[in-house]
Amino acid sequence: MAEDSPKRRKANFNEAETEVLIEQVLKHEQLLFAAGPGRASPGQKRKVWELIRHKVNPVAACPRDVEDLKKRWRDLKRRDRSKLCRLSQGCGPPGPPALGLLLAPEELPPAAAPPA
């Protein structure tokens, strides 16, 4: 085996990076994810992702590339879909505890609030 330094993984996304990523992707959602005849070309999408990268990197713990941002976005969507599945289809525990996955305790309706 070569004596090169082992490849180190990048630092986890911090809260500020995630917030900027979500804000920017939602701002450009129509360009990035629209289907049908009015959708953007791959070149346009690449430019939008580069713009997002330039917005995220000033608050980043380490420099991020476009692939890092796309992967983080996919992971965020997957995690949210999983929560919604547990809520709407009964994939998780039944009743009010499932509602608490997406809502803070103060946002829960009085009947669904956990006992004090």
For 31, counting Cβ atoms within 10 Å of its Cβ (0-12 exposed, 13-18 middle, 19+ buried), the class is: middle
Contact in structure between 33 and 52 (CB atoms under 8 Å): no
Q: Is the pTM of this model over 0.85?
A: no
Of 110, 111, 112, the closest CA to residue 98 belongs to: 112
Give 22-65 pLDDT, tens digit per residue.
Answer: 999 999 999 999 888 888 999 999 999 999 999 999 999 899 99
